Homo-oligomer: A and B are copies of this chain.
Amino acid sequence: MAIYVGYLAALLGMICWIPQAFQVWRTRDTKSLSLSANLLFLITVSLWLIYGLMITDWPIILANIVSVTAMIAIVAAKLKYK
């Protein structure tokens, strides 16, 4: 049972920032986004990706490739449309 909760959390965590990435590029409005929070979270998912690569754990690698991509899009929009 616990393992399914973990898989669902991992899946949602992988995709959840995609709507935010689309919204900031569509609206070009990033005013209420905290640069420090989004930058810290980009560093967080990058570290998880590096960790996954170091221990060769494919679920961690794949989940965090998606998150890193979404977070780069969000932080780039924040820096461009501030």
Residues on A lying within 8 angstroms of B by beta carbon are 1-2, 5-6, 8-9, 12-13, 15-20, 22-24, 27, 29-34, 36-38, 40-41, 43-45, 47-48, 50-51, 54-55
Per assembly, the copies of the chain total: 2
Beyond A23-B32, A32-B24, A32-B29, is A2–B55 a contact (Cβ under 8 Å)?
A: yes
Chain B residues near A47: list those with CB within 8 A.
Answer: 5-6, 8-9, 12
Q: Known interface pairs A19-B40, A34-B23. Does A51 touch B12 (Cβ–Cβ under 8 Å)?
A: no
- Chain B neighbourhood of A33, CB < 8 A: 20, 32-33
The answer to whether A34 touches B19 (Cβ under 8 A) is yes
Q: Are A16 and B32 in contact (CB under 8 A)?
A: no
